[in-house]
Chain A
Amino acid sequence: MSLLEIDSVTLKFGGLTAVNNLSMKVEEGQVFALVGPNGAGKSTVFNLISRFYTPVSGSITFDGKDVLKLAPHDVPQLGIARTFQNIELFHQATVLQNLLVGRHRHRQTNMISQMLHLPSVRAEERAHRHAVEEVIDLLDLQPYRNSRIAGLPYGVRKVVELGRALASKPRLLLLDEPASGLSVEETQNMRWWIDDIRRHMKITVLMVEHDMGLVSKVCDRVLALADGAKLAEGTPAEVQSHPSVIEAYLGTNAVSKGGKVA
């Protein structure tokens, strides 16, 4: 059984079909990429998995459990964490506090004991802090621990968002354009981190990415989407050379088809 199974899912906004009868399977331990032109429905697929949208038909199962039966805030309890395309951090809080929110699904204590700051709360906080510190170590966020998000540069915010998702110790990590807006070095770092996340933390990664360089280096499997429907699926090389993918990105080649320049 695959870790994440999306089976013939369709999502419509009024007359617009955003996702059209899409099926895909992400196996445990894979790094899986969704690619496609803007507006193809890649982020929409993420929002479907996060339950921000409800499909009109189809099913989504995670490790055999029906995701569509859950409320959005229960999805992370399954072990699914995500980042956002436009960075959705808690701006008025520090990096540390942001990462600690990632630990929310592991909380054990109740409101009253937290108000009284009982020893159990203190012990839990230490444990959360330790887990967060491991993430800080992995992502080299030490210099920013106590900085507020509002004053941080874009590249660092991107990493903090990855860290927040990792802090929840997920089984499946959804990365929405992890390399967008990053410099060459930062993209390089992101590549190593994704490798580490898969190899050492044993987390399955599903990502949306436009940077085919990054995709071909870190991904095992790629699915190309256009207009909400699957174009091609396979290894990065297979997908990149697939005729319908080339068509979606570059248009038809009038020369080779008609034999004459149009």
Chain B
Amino acid sequence: MKFHFKTDYDQDIRMFPDWWNFSLYAALLVLALCLPLLIDPFFLGEATNVLIWATAGLGLMLLTGQTGQVSLGHSAFMALGCYSCVLMMEANVPFLAAFLLAGVITGIVGALIAIPALKLHGVYLAIATLALAILADDIIVLLKEWTDGVNGKMSPPIDLFGYEISRWNNPVEWYYLTLAVVLMVTLFYRNLLRAPLGRAFAAVRDSEISAQAMGVNVAQTKTIAFGISCAITGLGGALMGLFAGAFNNETFNFLLSIQLLMMIVVGGLGFIHGAFLGAVVIAFLPQVLSMTTDLFGRGVAIPGLESGVFGVILILFILFEPMGLYGRWLKIRTFLELFPFARKDMFKRQKSYLKTERLR
């Protein structure tokens, strides 16, 4: 167990508490940068996929993990991010501008939708946003003049400062592009968490009534959280569509939202790490499943296997490890650090009785 001897407020404000922690993340970054040298293009594509999922997941994590608002409508915002980015690129807007603008547009639309939707709480918000996700599917079909409906669109080649990036010709550049996006998003996310806005998010999540009593404008904070969340998810959606090569309304159907939600729950709600761990699970599970069915089923495809396994995993996590993979890792780490003094109940959540929320 390490103890930090604190002599400066900056030690708590800084992103990394000590050199050891900093060097761990620096090593991870170096590993991420060297990854193209270490693995073949197929697995590099998979790694890119993980990072794309992580980007989208970070968006939902900000809303659900940090602010406590459940959304099942984030597939709609991924679609919005993707279509707006591609449409702008087709209108000859440079990629970088189109990409960032797509995030901004998605964020603004998200915030506008949030204003009425966030009057709902808990499961009702989830249902309302689920309706939005289902609606998005139909809207894409209806707007076929722009979206080409069910036929879908081909993603145009990415032209970054005159340098063309395509998934098949230069997967390494694609990987670096995604890595840059995910690093940027993570940095912003982390910065928000150590600033007043991030604390306001947590305040709204834990007790709206006392957040209000401390001067937090609950409606505004939720709207901002929804906006930022949608912007990030929109960027993830744009990357996903561009990476897929072709996409239509089916690419962004509501199952994607459920997968996203499952991802952050399995990874660990409320942790940045959780979004990444969840992304690894969600991106590699289909591969692992197809490998196992190849091995045992002799190539016989089992319909619905993937979603079935996803569902079982989600149920098991909610029952046995509500803090997700990252929570499990924290427990293991604490156990090792405190050995042999760790207690079994250290992470047990105390029930809180007598909530003042009954005021409402």
Contacts and interface: CB of A to CB of B under 8 A. Distances in A.
Interface of A: 47, 50, 52, 71-77, 81-82, 84-86, 88-93, 96-97, 100-105, 107, 109, 111, 114-117, 121-122, 124-126, 128-130, 133, 150-151, 164, 168
Nearest to B358: A86
Interface stretch (B30-38, B76-84, B167-175, B196-204): B196-204
Interface in B189-208: 191-192, 194-200, 202-203, 205-207
B192 A114 contact: yes
Contacts of A150: 349-350
Interface stretch (B136-144, B216-224, B310-318, B332-340): B216-224
Given A72-B213, A111-B197, A116-B191, A93 B207 contact: no
17 contacts: A50-B212, A74-B215, A76-B214, A90-B203, A90-B210, A93-B202, A101-B203, A104-B199, A104-B200, A104-B215, A109-B196, A114-B191, A114-B195, A121-B191, A121-B195, A122-B10, A151-B350
A168 B215 contact: yes
Nearest to B352: A91
Given A90-B206, A101-B199, 11 more contacts: A50-B213, A76-B213, A86-B356, A88-B210, A88-B356, A90-B202, A90-B211, A101-B202, A104-B214, A115-B191, A117-B191
B217 A109 contact: no
Contacts of A130: 9
Contacts of A91: 206-207, 352
B206 A93 contact: yes
Given A93-B206, A129-B13, A82 B213 contact: yes
B119 interface: no
Contact of A92 (B13, B198, B202): B202
Interface string B91-121: 0000000000000000000000000000000
B288 to A, nearest CB: 32
B236 interface: no
B40 interface: no
Nearest to B353: A86
B216 A101 contact: yes
B354 interface: yes
Contacts of B73: none
Contact of B356 (A84, A92, A105, A124): A84
Given A84-B356, A126-B10, A89 B206 contact: yes
A231 B19 CA distance: 64
Q: List the 8 shortest-distance A-B pairs measured between CB atoms, nearest first.
A: A76-B215, A114-B195, A88-B210, A90-B206, A105-B215, A86-B354, A117-B191, A107-B196
A92 B206 contact: yes
Interface residues of B, number: 40
Contacts of A121: 191, 195
Contact of B202 (A52, A97, A116): A97
B214 A115 contact: no
Contacts of B349: 150
Contacts of A81: 213-214
A80 to B, nearest CB: 9
Contact of B211 (A86, A101, A168): A101
B343 to A, nearest CB: 11
Interface string B250-275: 00000000000000000000100000
A97 B206 CA distance: 12
B155 to A, nearest CB: 28
B202 to A, nearest CB: 5
Contacts of B127: none
Given A52-B209, A90-B202, A109-B196, A126 B214 contact: no
A204 B199 CA distance: 27
Contacts of A168: 214-215
B199 A97 contact: yes
B270 A90 contact: no
A75 B228 CA distance: 27
B42 interface: no
B270 A88 contact: no
A132 B322 CA distance: 32
Contact of B214 (A71, A109, A128, A164): A164
B350 to A, nearest CB: 6
A126 B215 contact: no
Given A86-B356, A104-B200, A115-B192, A126 B207 contact: no
Nearest to A51: B212
Contacts of B12: 96, 129
Given A85-B356, A88-B356, A101 B191 contact: no
Nearest to A53: B359
Contacts of A76: 213-215
B344 interface: no
A111 B224 contact: yes
B355 interface: yes
Given A90-B202, A92-B270, A114-B191, A73 B359 contact: no
A109 B195 contact: yes
Nearest to A176: B356
Contacts of A90: 202-203, 205-207, 210-211
Nearest to A111: B197
B5 interface: no
A180 B318 CA distance: 36
Interface centre among B195, B203, B212, B354 (most CB of A within 10 A): B195
Contact of A89 (B210, B346, B350): B210
Interface centre among A50, A88, A164 (most CB of B within 10 A): A88
A89 B12 CA distance: 21
A88 B9 contact: no
A71 B213 CA distance: 11
